[in-house]
Amino acid sequence: MKKTAWFWIIGVSLVILLACGGFIGLGLWAANTFGDDGTMGIGFGDAIALIRVEGVIVPGEAPPPNLFSANAGEAYSQTIIDQLERANENDNVKAVVLFVDSPGGSVFASDEIYLQIAKMEKPIITSMGSLAASGGYYVSAPTDEIWASPHTFTCSIGVIMQMVNVEEFAKEYGITAVVIKSGQFKDIGNPFREVNEADRAILQSLVDEAYDGFVNIVAEGRDMTVEEVREIADGRICSGKQAQELQLVDNLGYLPDVIERAAELGDIEGEPRVIEYSYDGSFFESLASTLYRPSPIEELREVLHFNAGSPLMYLYIGQ
């Protein structure tokens, strides 16, 4: 086959690929822009807003949606905050359902979401999925009511900080880490040396401080005393049924039950309209995200960046 023919084939293939990507990006953009409660939304009438906290809770904003990935496994705090703000400002929304299916995650990100929930001016109810533990419970605590399945895994009220120590491994393979620091504790958590008692005291104080905050949030949200919460805030996991017995859950039921209850609180007659928010990426953001594929090195860098610094976590790790 002549080179000219090959060039034509390659050129036509690229045009088709770009056209497909363009249509996909345009579809995603149109769905976000013209969909219910978008900038130019056409929905009308009283509604319930459904906001999802699904996956590990992490800081920041979700990347634009694309055909090849759905950000599965992560609940981005800023995205959830933006959705809560939109629900609060939408006159058609009479109540909010927060669907939580999460093992928790970052202390920082969980608290960001909590602070926005505390600002809500409309009734807001939590519907727990299969797992709403630790940070998943933290963001649920300030809502007006908490509903769980009898089989939901929840509770796990506590804080965890994990670090890896490879000192013995390094010695075995002749690896030496050279550390030059400005102060005694500058390399606290260094994986190439053992955590000493002084290090442990500092780290424990951080964990204790975050734990006290968690206990206070639960006590306030559940109308319990701090002492009552501390008795059960030992990190234990419990079922939805057990959580109800411990006064950590109000009712047992599933998402349709919670939507019906939210409609009652919002004084909506009949079957409520449900608005579910999504990321409002521009057309070009959606298109670029659809066509872009990160390299394995970039994906590894993101993982290492998230785990850098041994952050405090409201996280159930028993999955």
Question: Does residue 306 register a pLDDT over 50?
Answer: no
**Cβ pair 315, 58 in contact under 8 A:** no
Positions annotated as catalytic residues are 134, 186
Q: At 162, is the pLDDT very low, low, confident or very high (cuts 50, 70, 90)?
A: confident
pLDDT at 244: 98
Amino acid letter for position 196: N
d(CA 108, CA 269): 39
Q: Structure pTM?
A: 0.78
Per-residue model confidence as pLDDT tens digits over 109-146: 999 999 999 999 999 999 999 999 999 999 999 999 99
Tokens representing 189?
């958590």
Tokens found for residue 293:
């594929």
Out of 77-91, 158-172, 190-204, 253-267, least confident range: 158-172
pLDDT at 268: 95
- In the chain, what's the furthest Cα-to-Cα distance? 83
pLDDT at 164: 79
pLDDT over 70 (residue 42): no
Q: Which fold has domain 3-315?
A: 2-enoyl-CoA Hydratase; Chain A, domain 1 (3.90.226)
312: three-class secondary structure by DSSP: coil
Name the pLDDT band for 73 (thresholds 50, 70, 90).
confident
Task: For residues 196-201, give the mean pLDDT.
Answer: 94
